[in-house]
Amino acid sequence: MPSLAADFLAVLALICVAAAVQMIRLRRSGQVVFNGGILLGLAIACALPILSRLPWAELVDEVSDQAIATIELLHAAFVILTL
């Protein structure tokens, strides 16, 4: 899975560089800067092939474990702070 994350980050970095260059060009020429939704759509479109190879069951299991641990930590902090 680290290679998939690295691939995704590489694609995201390339999109950010391309967007930054485009923004600089547009601002220097005085044109209207395009909407950020376009960039989000491009990022999702580029990431779809990578995201389709992720093991979703393992990912969801890890996220749910992390969410439960976070809730328990916040609950413990709340109890300690309200004593």
Shared domain for 45 and 59, answered yes or no, is no
The reported pTM is 0.38
Shared domain for 66 and 32, answered yes or no, is no
Shared domain for 46 and 62, answered yes or no, is no
Shared domain for 24 and 37, answered yes or no, is yes
Structural domain that includes position 12: 1-52
Compute the distance between CA of residue 74 and CA of residue 68 in angstroms, rounded to an integer.
10
- Give the pair of three-digit tokens for residue 38: 């376009």
Asked if 47 contacts 16 with a C-beta cutoff of 8 angstroms, the reply is no
Spell 4-38 as b/e; 16+ CB within 10 A means b: eeeebeebeeebeeebeeeeeeeeeeeeeeeeeee
Output 18 or 68, whichever has higher pLDDT: 68
The confidence score (pLDDT) of residue 34 equals 60
Number of separate domains in the chain: 2
Shared domain for 37 and 6, answered yes or no, is yes
Shared domain for 19 and 41, answered yes or no, is yes
CA distance readout (Å), 10 to 3, 4, 17, 47: 10, 10, 11, 10
Shared domain for 9 and 38, answered yes or no, is yes
Instruction: Tell me the pLDDT tens digit for each residue of 25-54.
Output: 777 777 665 666 666 777 777 777 776 777
